[in-house]
Structure 1
């Protein structure tokens, strides 16, 4: 028999105190304490407002500081001020000099329970109020407002535009009294198109026919290499890597599936909106067939690709850091905004509040990406993998293997969190779940006696008080839990007839302080040892205290052990009990200890590394809204923030999210809705930047205040509206761009346009661009006839569990997009030419010119080998010099260049094939080969 009385019940009883009595209580009891302990740091008179909080007026604690309201009238257990004054959180203790005496704490608790009467009506208008964001005004900014379709501008050279976009470009040029450059010649244009659309040089046969440019564009758009070229760009945005990086560079055995999904999506010209939805919530979407469901599951790998601090011992921090990385990536890649900057405070520049951040964080904290243990180490987390849809019975078999892997992971965590088990109870090897604290783990107040008289005990002994000398005694168990959730709390005791029937127990949990009266003569129902005392919600890093007292008791009060078991593990624990008692079969892992579980875990991980799995996330079991964190500190909880879309982009009601659901599906639908015009602007600008050398917004990853404003805002909206009308067709927009007059202009080194517009912001000419790192390597293989154009699979598997050791790609002949990307260990031949950093969104790779690049071009054995392969082919040609120029540069040499090359060959003497190799080497290292004009 037990009774539960919560403080909220107490509050209901006391909240009806008379108003006059409440004010008197405040003036006589509360105000003196505020003046004594709080005003020094939180009052207008002191000139200090730490944490943004004032406590010298009612509106001060109502409004609160950085963490929101300081207290909730009638709810002391949920009030931040009581949490900080209790000193239970080592990161938030107020007043900072020393903890208040118990009698003063009770005064604050009683005041809040009364409803916090406070006659101090001075308004915050008298002091500087916290600056708020004017979202209505912010929505009128160019990046956030709805798309505007403006009429085509009137131009003087009416016969110059070929596409609508050309009119916008020409109008700006004419306004500056500038004329566009001449058109590029056909061969230059075909080389430009080939690299821009496929990342490879044009085939020699294609250069023989330069008369039908639209047909050539269609051929390139429909080439499998189109997806590889543009897929590589998307992987830059998705911070793609084949390893975790961070603290442990574990191999992502299944990441390659996402890489190939992206390539195929570009080749299929999948709707960009569907592409985005699948990456945010593909694991939650419904598919028409197995193939579509596989694609959706693989697409959601996007959320799991980022670097994670897998060894972080604070798992709640790990979950929130993972959510932060996802928010930052989605903000930059999809919206061109640095939303992640609002984790600790309102964004300093852009209209994103800390409330907006945690409204978004709720979606991703409700998503499970990391979990469990790895390699038998409880302090190293793993990542979620799910079975890919496939015909039965394969699907069920693989799902069962994955479920068992996670069971073994959870058991390993459990065993390692379990406190010591000694004495007679250990001989039975009770398969108890969760976390157990023995009496030796308790903080004791008063005199307690050890005893081992009863065999029905946990560990070597238990403790009890003295019936004749009761006094004030208590035992405080401070639990340490591996995850946030609802736990059943159980008490271990020997259940003797001389034990007390009304033992007072206090459970301090996240959902409040609970007072329980417990009968210790009742026989325990769990293994004859433990008895539940209630279920409570605990937060990782929050209050997890069970206090057993002797107050008011007459018979013995026994303290043996306290068990915290997640409610999700209760059924499994019962099955384990039945198995060890011979009452039913079960998984042998249920009875394994830590060492055997570690071996079982490693075996399963090895067997499943090349299985049909995806790094797909799933909704967390504790999905729901989360609390704002004061200054971003995980353990400093502010108010709970409902999940919502960014206020500057959405002025409607919050989404309706089913209980237990992450809400990512609703987020994905909103993200791709017509309301969110920013999504269209950002992707259109990215495509433009890739094809024209700079974006209409030059800061492609930042459309905020610290980014650049668009040079042609009307054109940006015009193209974004056309993109939306096309259903999000990437190929349609690229076709429009490359067939425009603007794209087909010639490059210029010096002209009136370069003088008047050195950065080419007006786009009156073509900008030169250097080949990317991947284009250089792929071209060297392609020109020598060595490039394998087949799509690759899991290329990282052969390098082992960690990708920390140097990787050599001498015998790799597939395109560079298929080479393993190892965080903390990038391929030198790609890194030297500014390959993307996979730690973050890289929408605009840096362009460097450094001596090591020239040294590589001179001394690279790979480049020398490919030059020799070209020389072998040239040697068999009647005009090897002309053949090498045609093959490498895409055109016949001018007379002067041909003479220099022939003179070089004749004067070098020696082996002719080696001399040709040297010539090929020179051409491959030349500016003309490395740059597009």
Structure 2
């Protein structure tokens, strides 16, 4: 056998031998079984590696004593107990250890060995074993006086402030300790930093954001002694403080929004813990309470804590956030791995000790034994972290709300239920009434279905020919290069935005216009398409022969202004005569970057088909078209890539979504609404017009996927609009579908009005939909009732296929054949109305009837009353309400809206709870299969001694553990957090290994100062804000980063703090600062931006990146996806969220510079910053440069820097003059380049 494999195998055997004794005398049958069946297997299968000639892993199987003694990991068999014998596990390949390693033994041999062990392992002439095998390693250690004397294992002690020679330098106690060390080394502290350097440093350190120009000016103007104090107090009072320091704690808490590892599932409710942390720092919650709540908040009472029950439960998410192997097929191993991660994290986070190293053996360096480890592990074995340990396992989540809020929520839910019940009753009764009335209006429904079919067919974007050469080749076309206009006032760019293609750009004259003279060879219906690029929406007016056709041509967003995002879009479908025409494009300011225009004459068959029924042709001249991504207000996001590539769509983050758009209505009237969207699942939204709910189930269809190729126009009814400004609003409790466009088309926008256009304004929309489905199904066969209708649509003669069909056709035609679809519809209406009237008379009589005697009318009646027919009533569909019920419906829906804003389900948070209390057996070599003695739940002996009070069998011990950690005499907890805070301000801790205060960690550089601060923290009720205040007001913190050659020789690592280290900002601070100077930072707090549903797979950045990382919120609120971090986070050394990390690396690599130069985030904010500077009309260019330096560096620019900046922009503009870029664009781009140059400089991302 393999030495390596079998040495691991025997891990499971220690202690399983227990005190088993050999049977006194084996029987003859037992010895025969051994000699004939067992010994040959051992000889042939095992002797090569485990006999006298070869003893791998110290195991011999050529004697019973050898098997009982075992190898490096203990006994191989337990006589009489095959279920506890490691050898039996191994030969069954039942663990990760397989013996023999390559091929499993035959079933018969496994059975023989198992039977032998169950017999008691009879072996000829073997001596009885009367003692248990000795354990290879002890699980206890002796705590020595040397152990107890190690600096971190005895409590902090009070010392007098050291005396110093420079009495004027110290500002508080911190400075005495630092200066004393410096003077002892013959060094002096660096000079004080300038006021602006200190302000920038303290602002970033406390809130993670740069000071504003106003804040800088106020501070510089305040020369009073209390000015510094006022700044610090304001910063500590800012909500941004909790975001900054909460993010630092999240590194320690290994926070993430997904599991990572084998099953990267979404932790969609982890954000509650993150928000709890931010709130705790902002409230200045005593750190002792912070510790208690994270370990045992669910076990605390209102008397024990300052927080609500829900907050305390949420806090225990600290224990649940770790990465887990959720598909581990050994449930016991999975649980023990989770417990190990919890023990290891708690040890490092609160005590700075690597307790996890004692899982398999006593700690090699620190006085921590396996008994210590499993004493703590028992506490978490008695804690429920997981709902189950199946494949794939589920972590536990708990509702988090107070009893009072629970009562309020239940009351609100009851009110919602009552209102919804009343609405259902109103709709049900209305549907019955509408059903009765509609049976008299079959002809109206036939016309409506016909018109709506063509309505959708003729909507823009149904087919785009410009990017489909195979279609284009088969159509009569006219292609126009946009820059080859006959008249206009714009430039033709062929080198930058128009490189290799040529586009229109602004010259500076407003409004922009171009005109094209065209000549068409034939009359017909033409589709006008335009190819353009746009980073922001610039809807353009289209005139044909002086008539305004569209107001929103090329009004979408393609992704950028660059050639690679040029996209074809359908602009209009218009009827044109043969001969000359004039096309004119006009924009009040700047065109999008238009490359080409295309006119495609639609096929003769389609044009003829639509001309044959002039009452149905729609003219889009008066259409109100709204690109969804040009919305004015809302919490949705714009997508120009991925799901929105080529068109631009809006999509929603997790949680409630809302969006508002304002638009102008040219005249009062009824308007059809069509919405173009993509949806892989039904996501119905509420539509409100001017605040009134008019449709509760907009966008409720499934189109196939979320991608652009499944975007679909969907008819959404018709609505009364009044002239002037109108606000459209969508609301949904969850994410909305991916919406591209809204179109409102006035009812009277037809080519001919010989008959009223019947639409959902007068008919029930639900029945219209059902008629469409019904007729599509009937058209596939020889329908006797509607055969004449289908023939009229197709423009062919009708040939009845049955006697009944002949009779129906004869009754419809009457004396004079209908000449139009409208007349045909009228004939159907009269026939069906007669059938309905006669049926009502017949069914209302005393005589029971089941059918009408007239076969034609009976055929009509069957259509009217078909349970699956066009007039069936389906639950959940809106069939319209009578006017008297409309007002009540609005009231009820408004009530529901208001209630649902707060009447959500109790929020669920990742959290733990107590399970059945259980003491653990020691796992020999860390294996749950090889068990040693049971140890009671307890704490570290090196701190609390060997004799500790029993935890008891009614609780896990988490609350006792938490209280022990924050007890007055605990030597580590206060020191560890003080060191973390110090490190956050100076870049290095007083102990430079913040997660290791053991022997492998570094010794404190200022042990007396560390003890002083730890005791100071406790004396001030564990207030972290008080600790921050003392540090940042010290002279030590106020030092500059000025170099000193002598000091650098004596103390090259600056362990004595003779100056303040120059530090690079963290990834989050860099991104947030970029958003601040660009004026785009969204300061909303809390909530989740994770798009993936809870417990669903988050396998890559593709699940979150297209939407979430385009928002402008602080970086702490961006999803942290394990194994798929945001690119900027990776580049700038974001902490690995799978493990606790108290100190991030700081690297300097080329991708950092490349990111700052090329990242869309940075480029966009530089553009925004330049735009904001130029819009400040009260400033001249020198003042704008001064303002830019103050925004970016928190300092004023020197005269030289101003001169160089002006010169740079002048050279930049001259370099671009040859490209014929319009003046305003040139100025904007030169300022953007200057802003970019300032931001990419190292001064921006470093603190002096």
TM-score range, shorter chain: 0.5 to 0.7
2:301 paired residue number: 286
2:387 paired residue number: 371
CA displacement, residues 162-187 of structure 1 (integer Å, 9 cap, x when unaligned): 11121111111111111111011111
Of 90-99 and 345-354, more deviation after overlay is shown by 90-99
2:1185 paired residue number: 881
Cα distance, 1:295–1:643 mapped onto 2, change above 3 Å: same
Q: How big is the shift at 1:115? A: 12
Aligned pairs for 1:85-104 (under 5 A) are 90=94
1:310 paired residue number: 326
Question: 2: CA distance between counterparts of 1:95 and 1:928?
Answer: 64
SS in 2 for 1:762: coil
**1:861 counterpart = 2:1164:** no
Aligned pairs for 1:537-552 (under 5 A) are none
**1:728 counterpart = 2:1032:** no
Question: 2: CA distance between counterparts of 1:213 and 1:690?
Answer: 19
Cα distance, 1:726–1:88 mapped onto 2, change above 3 Å: farther
Of 707-716 and 643-652, more deviation after overlay is shown by 643-652
1:533 paired residue number: none
1:218 paired residue number: 233
**1:206 counterpart = 2:215:** yes
Question: 2: CA distance between counterparts of 1:44 and 1:663?
Answer: 50
1:526 paired residue number: none
CA displacement, residues 682-741 of structure 1 (integer Å, 9 cap, x when unaligned): 111111111111011111111222221111112111211211222211111111111111
CA displacement, residues 236-284 of structure 1 (integer Å, 9 cap, x when unaligned): 1101111111112211121111011000100111111110111111122
Q: CA RMSD in A?
A: 4.3
On the 8 A contact 1:753/1:765 being kept in 2, the answer is no
CA displacement, residues 297-333 of structure 1 (integer Å, 9 cap, x when unaligned): 0000111111111111211111111111111211221
SS in 2 for 1:922: helix
Q: How big is the shift at 1:116? A: 6.8
Cα distance, 1:912–1:627 mapped onto 2, change above 3 Å: same
Cα distance, 1:820–1:873 mapped onto 2, change above 3 Å: same
1:448 paired residue number: none
Question: 1: CA distance between counterparts of 2:1198 and 2:116?
Answer: 96
On the 8 A contact 2:88/2:113 being kept in 1, the answer is no
Aligned pairs for 1:768-779 (under 5 A) are 768-779=1062-1073
Gap regions ≥5 residues in structure 1: 1-13, 24-28, 402-607
1:821 paired residue number: 1120
- TM-score scaled to structure 2, two decimals? 0.50
Question: 2: CA distance between counterparts of 1:641 and 1:307?
Answer: 27
Question: 1: CA distance between counterparts of 2:1016 and 2:345?
Answer: 26
On the 8 A contact 2:57/2:72 being kept in 1, the answer is no
Correspondence for 2:1147 among 848, 851, 874:
848
Aligned pairs for 1:793-808 (under 5 A) are 793-797=1087-1091, 801-803=1096-1098, 804-806=1100-1102, 807-808=1105-1106
Question: 1: CA distance between counterparts of 2:923 and 2:904?
Answer: 37
Question: 2: CA distance between counterparts of 1:698 and 1:380?
Answer: 40
Q: How big is the shift at 1:771? A: 1.0
On the 8 A contact 1:387/1:395 being kept in 2, the answer is no
Q: How big is the shift at 1:80? A: 7.2
**1:135 counterpart = 2:143:** yes
Question: 1: CA distance between counterparts of 2:1070 and 2:1195?
Answer: 18
Question: 1: CA distance between counterparts of 2:381 and 2:1026?
Answer: 37
Q: How big is the shift at 1:207? A: 1.4
Aligned pairs for 1:199-278 (under 5 A) are 199-208=208-217, 209-210=219-220, 211=223, 212-278=227-293
On the 8 A contact 1:327/1:360 being kept in 2, the answer is yes
Question: 2: CA distance between counterparts of 1:198 and 1:833?
Answer: 19
**1:899 counterpart = 2:1203:** yes
Cα distance, 1:42–1:690 mapped onto 2, change above 3 Å: farther
1:786 paired residue number: 1080
Question: 1: CA distance between counterparts of 2:1168 and 2:253?
Answer: 36
Q: How big is the shift at 1:39? A: 15
SS in 1 for 2:1014: helix
SS in 1 for 2:932: strand
SS in 1 for 2:308: helix
Cα distance, 1:810–1:619 mapped onto 2, change above 3 Å: closer
**1:667 counterpart = 2:957:** no
Question: 1: CA distance between counterparts of 2:168 and 2:1051?
Answer: 24
Question: 2: CA distance between counterparts of 1:823 and 1:352?
Answer: 31
Cα distance, 1:247–1:829 mapped onto 2, change above 3 Å: same
SS in 2 for 1:139: helix
1:637 paired residue number: 931
2:1238 paired residue number: 923
**1:381 counterpart = 2:393:** yes
Question: 1: CA distance between counterparts of 2:1006 and 2:405?
Answer: 57
Cα distance, 1:65–1:657 mapped onto 2, change above 3 Å: farther
Question: 2: CA distance between counterparts of 1:741 and 1:825?
Answer: 42
Correspondence for 2:200 among 161, 177, 191:
191
CA displacement, residues 616-653 of structure 1 (integer Å, 9 cap, x when unaligned): 11122x43012222222232222222211122222153
On the 8 A contact 2:400/2:906 being kept in 1, the answer is no
Cα distance, 1:393–1:916 mapped onto 2, change above 3 Å: closer
Q: How big is the shift at 1:905? A: 1.8
Q: How big is the shift at 1:614? A: 1.5
Q: How big is the shift at 1:789? A: 1.5
**1:321 counterpart = 2:337:** yes
Question: 2: CA distance between counterparts of 1:271 and 1:714?
Answer: 23
**1:679 counterpart = 2:959:** no
Gap regions ≥5 residues in structure 2: 1-19, 26-30, 36-41, 414-902, 1218-1225
Cα distance, 1:65–1:648 mapped onto 2, change above 3 Å: farther
Question: 2: CA distance between counterparts of 1:43 and 1:713?
Answer: 57
Question: 2: CA distance between counterparts of 1:850 and 1:240?
Answer: 26
On the 8 A contact 2:91/2:100 being kept in 1, the answer is no
2:450 paired residue number: none
CA displacement, residues 884-926 of structure 1 (integer Å, 9 cap, x when unaligned): 1111111111222222111112222252222111111011111
Cα distance, 1:51–1:787 mapped onto 2, change above 3 Å: farther
Q: How big is the shift at 1:193? A: 0.4
**1:179 counterpart = 2:188:** yes
CA displacement, residues 807-847 of structure 1 (integer Å, 9 cap, x when unaligned): 14454122110111111111112221111111111111111
On the 8 A contact 1:882/1:892 being kept in 2, the answer is yes
**1:614 counterpart = 2:913:** no
1:568 paired residue number: none
Cα distance, 1:45–1:721 mapped onto 2, change above 3 Å: farther
Q: How big is the shift at 1:157? A: 1.3
Question: 2: CA distance between counterparts of 1:44 and 1:158?
Answer: 79
SS in 1 for 2:933: strand
On the 8 A contact 1:242/1:255 being kept in 2, the answer is yes
Cα distance, 1:76–1:105 mapped onto 2, change above 3 Å: closer
Question: 2: CA distance between counterparts of 1:779 and 1:228?
Answer: 14
Question: 2: CA distance between counterparts of 1:217 and 1:856?
Answer: 33
Q: How big is the shift at 1:287? A: 2.2
SS in 1 for 2:192: coil
On the 8 A contact 1:147/1:677 being kept in 2, the answer is yes
**1:756 counterpart = 2:1050:** yes
Question: 1: CA distance between counterparts of 2:370 and 2:363?
Answer: 7
SS in 2 for 1:780: helix
Q: How big is the shift at 1:215? A: 1.2
Question: 2: CA distance between counterparts of 1:395 and 1:737?
Answer: 46
SS in 2 for 1:638: strand
Question: 1: CA distance between counterparts of 2:306 and 2:207?
Answer: 30
Aligned pairs for 1:463-478 (under 5 A) are none
Correspondence for 2:315 among 276, 293, 299:
299
SS in 2 for 1:178: coil
Cα distance, 1:150–1:817 mapped onto 2, change above 3 Å: same
1:525 paired residue number: none
Cα distance, 1:919–1:656 mapped onto 2, change above 3 Å: same
Question: 2: CA distance between counterparts of 1:282 and 1:84?
Answer: 45
